[in-house]
Amino acid sequence: MSARTIWLLLAGLAAGGPALAQLHQQLPDPLLGRNWAAGCTGCHASDWLSGRDALYATLLDFKSGRRPATVMQQLSRGYDDEQLRAIADHFSGRPAP
């Protein structure tokens, strides 16, 4: 590796480092969704929880009572909408946008 290449690499790191750190700060903590979702897997296998938007919509329906339920109606009220979205993200295996 030539000295020139090393300098280019260092310059790239210097420029890329802070930008990357900033990006990480903007991203929500991916573990939060996983932790909240851990409360679901006691009763559910996670494989039926597919599409994120569909799951999120179902959870909101439970929460509002639009969809009658015995357990889920009470349970979904324990989470705010942002938490429900993070849970839906978790089960769909997609990182939060």
If binding is defined by CB under 6 A, does position 75 make contact with ligand HEC?
yes
Site size with ligand HEC, rule: CB under 6 A: 14
Q: Which residues of 36-64 are buried (b: 16+ CB within 10 A; e: fewer)?
A: bbeebeeeeeeeebeebeebbebbbbbbe
Binding track over 53-72 against ligand HEC, x by CB under 6 A:
--x--xx---------xxxx
Binding track over 10-29 against ligand HEC, x by CB under 6 A:
--------------------
3-state SS assignment for residue 57? helix
Pair 87, 28: CB distance under 8 Å: no
- Residues at the site binding ligand HEC, with contacts judged by CB under 6 A: 39-40, 42-44, 55, 58-59, 69-72, 75, 87
